[in-house]
Amino acid sequence: MTQTIAVLPGDGIGPEIIAQAVRVLDVFKQRGLDVDYQFAPLGGAAYDEYGAPYPEFTQNICRKADAVLLGAVGGPQYDNIERALRPERGLLAIRKDLNLFANLRPAILYPELANASTLKPEVVAGLNILIVRELTGDIYFAEPRGIGQLADGTREGVNTMRYHESEIRRIGHIAFQAAQKRNKKLCSVDKANVLETTELWKQIMIEISADYPEVELSHMYVDNAAMQLVKAPKQFDVMVTGNIFGDILSDEASMLTGSIGMLPSASLNETGKGMYEPSHGSAPDIAGQDKANPLATILSAAMMLRYSFNQDAFADEIEQAVQTVLKQGLRTADIYEEGCTLVGCTAMGDAVVAAL
Amino acid sequence: MTQTIAVLPGDGIGPEIIAQAVRVLDVFKQRGLDVDYQFAPLGGAAYDEYGAPYPEFTQNICRKADAVLLGAVGGPQYDNIERALRPERGLLAIRKDLNLFANLRPAILYPELANASTLKPEVVAGLNILIVRELTGDIYFAEPRGIGQLADGTREGVNTMRYHESEIRRIGHIAFQAAQKRNKKLCSVDKANVLETTELWKQIMIEISADYPEVELSHMYVDNAAMQLVKAPKQFDVMVTGNIFGDILSDEASMLTGSIGMLPSASLNETGKGMYEPSHGSAPDIAGQDKANPLATILSAAMMLRYSFNQDAFADEIEQAVQTVLKQGLRTADIYEEGCTLVGCTAMGDAVVAAL
Ligand SMILES: CC(C)[C@H](C(=O)O)[C@@H](O)C(=O)O
Ligand SMILES: CC(C)[C@H](C(=O)O)[C@@H](O)C(=O)O
CATH of A128-256, picked from 3.40.718.10, 3.40.50.1370, 3.10.450.50, 2.160.10.10, is: 3.40.718.10
Q: Please, are residues B3 and B309 in contact by the beta-carbon 8 Å criterion? A: yes
- Asked if the Cβ–Cβ distance from B227 to A195 is below 8 Å, we say no
User: What are the pLDDT digits (tens) for A18-43?
Assistant: 999 999 999 999 999 999 999 999 99
Residues with CB under 6 A from ligand 2: A 193-194, 223; B 88, 91-92, 247
Segments of chain B with pLDDT less than 50? none
CA distance A291 to A17: 10
**What chain A residue is nearest to B189 in terms of C-alpha separation?**
A248
C-alpha B292/C-alpha A236 separation (Å) is: 27
Q: Is A36 a catalytic residue?
A: no
For residues B241 and B249, is the Cβ–Cβ distance under 8 A? yes
Note whether B164 contacts A147, CB cutoff 8 Å. no
Angle at CA of residue B232, ends B230 and B237, nearest 5°: 105
Query: How buried is B19 (Cβ within 10 angstroms: 0-12 exposed, 13-18 middle, 19+ buried)?
Result: middle
What does the alpha-carbon distance between residue A152 and residue A147 come to, in Å, rounded to a whole number?
14
A227 with B162: Cβ contact below 8 A? no
d(CA A261, CA A332): 9
Choose which residue among A189, A190, A191, A193 to substitute to test ligand 2 binding: the one with the highest number of ligand atoms within 8 A of its C-beta: A193
Residues with Cβ within 8 Å of residue B6, at least 6 apart in sequence = B37, B38, B39, B40, B58, B61, B62, B64, B65, B67, B68, B69
CB proximity list for A181: less than 8 A, separation 6 or greater = none
Beta bridge partners of A216: A185
Measured in whole angstroms, the distance separating CA B281 from the mean position of its chain's CA atoms is: 10
pLDDT for the residue numbered B288: 97
Q: Determine whether B36 is an active site residue.
A: no
Q: What is the pLDDT of residues B128-142, one digit of tens each?
A: 999 999 999 999 999
- Assign domain A1-108+265-356 to a CATH class: alpha beta
A79: pLDDT confidence band, cut at 50, 70 and 90?
Answer: confident
Give backbone dihedrals phi and psi of B137, rounded to 5 degrees, phi first.
-125, -155
What is residue B193's predicted lDDT score, i.e. its pLDDT? 92
CA angle B133, B307, B161 (to 5 degrees): 20
| Residue from B189, B190, B194 to probe ligand 1 pocket by mutation (most atoms less than 8 Å from CB) | B194
Residue in B34, B211, B223, B312 annotated catalytic: B223
The rounded Å distance from CA A91 to ligand 1 centre is: 8
CA distances from B16 to A201, A210, B7, B260, B287 (A): 36, 41, 12, 17, 8
Q: Is the pLDDT of residue A246 over 90?
A: yes
The CATH 3.40.718.10 portion of chain A extends over 1-108+265-356, 128-256
CA of B247 to the centre of ligand 2 (A): 7
Q: What's the CA gap between B301 and B22, in Å, rounded?
A: 8
**Chain B environment of A279 (Cβ under 8 Å):** none
Q: Is the overall model pTM greater than 0.75, yes or no?
A: yes
B198 contacts A157? CB cut-off 8 A: yes
Interface probe, candidates A134, A159, A163, A234, chain B, greatest B C-beta count within 10 A: A159
> What percent of chain A has pLDDT above 90?
98
Q: How far is CA A87 from the centre of its chain?
A: 16
- Per-residue model confidence (pLDDT) at position B312: 96
**Which candidate from B120, B145, B146 shows the least CB-CB separation from A118?**
B120
**Which ligand minimizes its atom distance to the CA of A253?**
1
A243 is in an annotated binding site: no
**Minimal-distance CA residue to ligand 1 atom 2:** A88
What single string gives the DSSP state of each residue in B199-264? HHHHHHHHHHHTT-TTSEEEEEEHHHHHHHHHH-GGG-SEEEE-HHHHHHHHHHHHHHTT-GGG-E
List the catalytic residue out of A34, A36, A48, A223: A223
Q: What's A35's DSSP letter? A: E
User: Taking the alpha carbons of A147, A150, A152, A156 in that order, is the dihedral positive or negative?
Assistant: negative
Interchain contact, A226 vs B248, CB within 8 Å: yes
CB atoms within 10 A of CB A180: 14
Q: Chain B contacts of A193, Cβ < 8 Å?
A: 86, 88
- B1-104+265-356 architecture in CATH? 3-Layer(aba) Sandwich (3.40)
**Cβ contacts (< 8 Å) between B155 and chain A: which residues?**
164-165, 200
Q: Model confidence over A174-225: pLDDT tens digits? A: 999 999 999 999 999 999 999 999 999 999 999 999 999 999 999 999 999 9
C-alpha distances (whole Å) from B202 to each of A251, B206, B209, B218 are 21, 6, 11, 10
Ligand 2, atom 3: nearest CA belongs to which residue? B88
Q: Which residue of A has its CA nearest to B281?
A: A224
* Partner-chain contact A199 B247, CB within 8 Å: no
Rounded to the nearest angstrom, the minimum Cα separation between A179 and chain B is: 24
Using the atom order of ligand 1, give the atom closest to the CA of residue A92.
3
Active-site annotation holds for B140: yes
Query: Searching chain B, which residue's CA lies closest to the CA of residue A156?
Result: B164
Asked if A55 and A22 touch (Cβ cutoff 8 Å), the reply is no
Least CA distance to B88: which residue of chain A?
Answer: A193
| B123, B142, B157 member nearest A163 (Cβ) | B157
- Is A86 annotated in a binding site? The answer is yes
- For A120-158, b/e burial (b = at least 16 CB within 10 A) is eeebbeebebbbbbbbbbbbbbbeebeeeeeeeeebbbb
For residues A90 and A298, the answer to whether their CB atoms sit within 8 Å is no
d(C-alpha A202, C-alpha A196), whole Å = 10
Which residues have C-beta atoms less than 6 Å from ligand 1? A 88, 91-92, 247; B 193-194, 223
Other C-beta atoms closer than 10 Å to the C-beta of B316 total 13
Cβ-based neighbour number of residue B95 at 10 Å: 21
Catalytic option among B140, B212, B276, B307:
B140
Per-residue confidence (pLDDT) for residue A1, from 0 to 100: 85
- The answer to whether B80 touches B102, Cβ cutoff 8 Å, is no
Which atom of ligand 1 is least distant from the CA of A95?
7
Cα–Cα nearest to B76, from B247, B282, B280 = B282
What is the predicted pLDDT for the residue at A81?
A: 93
Q: Report CB contact under 8 Å: B155, A200.
A: yes
Q: Which of A9, A272, A305, A247 is nearest to B221 (CA)?
A: A247
Ligand 1, atom 7: closest residue by C-alpha: A247
The verdict on a CB contact (< 8 Å) between B166 and A160 is no
Which residue in the list B191, B237, B273, B334 is annotated as catalytic? B191
B116/chain A closest Cα distance in angstroms: 10
